[in-house]
Structure 1
Amino acid sequence: MMRPMLDSIRFHLRTQLQRQKDIMGYNRAALTYLQQDWRSRNTSEFLDENTDMDKKTGDDEKKRKFVKLTV
């Protein structure tokens, strides 16, 4: 008498838990996508345009040479 009812509850519980897991996984993936989308829209990358100029002028300059003396 109790066994069929418990089997029914167990079956329905498992299906409902699987449904909830699927919904939570879907919602989590959607929230992750929205977070990445928001970050890409609201984050700017700043590039220094003078870095190429600094490299060119640095090659022409003379570097100090160190002399090692032994006594």
Structure 2
Amino acid sequence: MLKMALVAWGHLKSRLDERGQDLMEYLVLAAVVAVAVIVGIGLYSGALNTWFTGVAAWIGGGAAPGGPTP
């Protein structure tokens, strides 16, 4: 009976260790994705700001770079 309990405990501990490892892998993956999203937003917002500045200048009477003259 004790031997069965020890075998069961060993199996349970092994399963919990595997789940802990999986959890760590998912956390690392989530961190990498979060960093990629933050960097992407930073790069995209800079390009978007440039575009809106050009459109605002074009609407305000100046010609946007590379755009038609109003």
**What TM-score bracket applies, with the shorter chain setting the length?**
0.5 to 0.7
- 1:12-50 Cα offsets, whole Å, 9 max, x none, are 01111000000000000000000010000010358xxxx
* Alpha-carbon separation, structure 2, partners of 1:11 and 1:42: 46
Q: Which runs of 5+ in 1 are unaligned?
A: 47-71
The number of residues matched between the two structures is 46
**Aligned 1:1-71 pairs, distance under 5 A:** 1-44=7-50
Normalising by structure 2, what TM-score?
A: 0.60
Higher relative contact order (CA 8 A, sep 6+): 2
- The structure with the largest helix share of the pair is 2
- How far did 1:8 drift? 0.5
Amino acid at match of 2:35: A
Superposed structure 1 runs of 4+ greater than 3 Å apart: none
Q: Hey, what's the Cα distance between the residues in 1 that align with 2:20 and 2:45?
A: 37
RMSD between superposed Cα atoms in Å: 1.4
Question: How many percent identity over aligned positions?
Answer: 9
